[in-house]
Structure 1
């Protein structure tokens, strides 16, 4: 019994530390204020922060509970869109903070066509995701 209680405590403590680190990382690279500033919606920052926390809680509990979305394409499409936006914004904020794009452009000596490079990255991600989920053999349960 004592061993089980210790494992429960250890698991919850570890999960809390990982979650705190993840949210600290998101706060440190400044996704929320940057997105609010670019979209001119600074008055809704609290709602953005609450949505991130609720999304983290939902994502964590979804690992242990069997959530099911209703088979309504609009809801599933909305969920997929929101997930994609979050992952894309997180990736771009991380590359911006680490100055990956300017360093890559300087080393590759790319002076023109940056918009085509970004479009190629985005399309590559889209087609890669489609292949992963639609082609047999990429995704195995």
Structure 2
């Protein structure tokens, strides 16, 4: 009985520590990339800073809730399409911010000798991402 309680306590401490580590990494990732300030700057919506912060916090909490529950949604297809679009926008903005901060494309184009063909290189990345996403969804999901 006491051993079981002790094991549960250790699991709770490890889970809490892991959550703090992942949460700290997530916040550091957003801070280093400057996603929210860059988004505010590009959209010229400085007065909505609290809304952006609330959306990040609520989205994280909601995602955590969905992760730990067995909740399933039988929603209309239009709602699922909107949900997917918002996920795609978020992932696209995250990838764009990462490549902007790290200057990935100029470095890659110089390393492989395609400086003159940077547009073709970018289009290859875009179409490769689209093809990979479609393959995953059409082959593995459906």
* 1:94 maps to which of 91, 98, 117: 98
Root-mean-square deviation over aligned CA pairs? 2.1
Q: Is the 8 A contact 1:69 1:76 kept in 2?
A: no
More helix by share: 2
**Within the alignment, does 1:124 sit opposite 2:128 as a pair?**
yes
Aligned residue-pair number: 137
| Greater radius of gyration (CA) | 2
Bigger mean CA deviation after superposition, 101-110 or 9-18:
101-110
Aligned to 1:20: 24
* 2:56 maps to which of 52, 57, 60: 52
Moved over 4 A (4+): none
1:103 shift after superposition: 1.0
Per-residue Cα deviation, 1:65-117 (whole angstroms, up to 9, x for no partner) = 02333421221111111111111111111122111112122233323562x54
1:10 shift after superposition: 1.5
Aligned to 2:15: 11
TM-score, normalised to structure 2's length?
Answer: 0.83
* 2:41 maps to which of 25, 37, 42: 37
Aligned to 1:77: 81
1:127 shift after superposition: 2.2
Q: Is the 8 A contact 2:33 2:101 kept in 1?
A: yes
**Within the alignment, does 1:109 sit opposite 2:114 as a pair?**
yes
Structure 2, gaps ≥5 residues long: none
TM-score, normalised to structure 1's length?
Answer: 0.83
